[in-house]
Amino acid sequence: SLTQSRHSRHLGACAAALECFGDLGDSGDLAVAAEQLRVARRELGRITGHVGAEDVLDIIFRDFCVGK
């Protein structure tokens, strides 16, 4: 179904971000590691319905052209 496809896509993106995080190892850049964790959390939030301030702002700027 559509929901299962959407969940699969978000889980795949989450897994990819976590894999990138894991590939950084102990010598990785802390900012890059934090970004990968943020991406993973956002993808899981899209499945669970948790919407953060970044998501709302992205929609506003994308759909309503505010600030351009």
User: In terms of Cα–Cα distance, which of 5, 21, 14 is closest to 41?
Assistant: 14
- Token pair belonging to 12: 């795949």
| Alpha-carbon span 14 to 61, nearest angstrom | 24
* Total tally of structural domains belonging to the chain: 1
Residue ranges making up the domain that contains 46: 2-63
Q: Is residue 25 part of a domain?
A: yes
- Give residue-wise pLDDT tens across range 15-62: 999 999 999 988 788 889 999 999 999 999 989 888 777 777 777 777
pLDDT of residue 26: 84
In a domain, 10, yes or no: yes
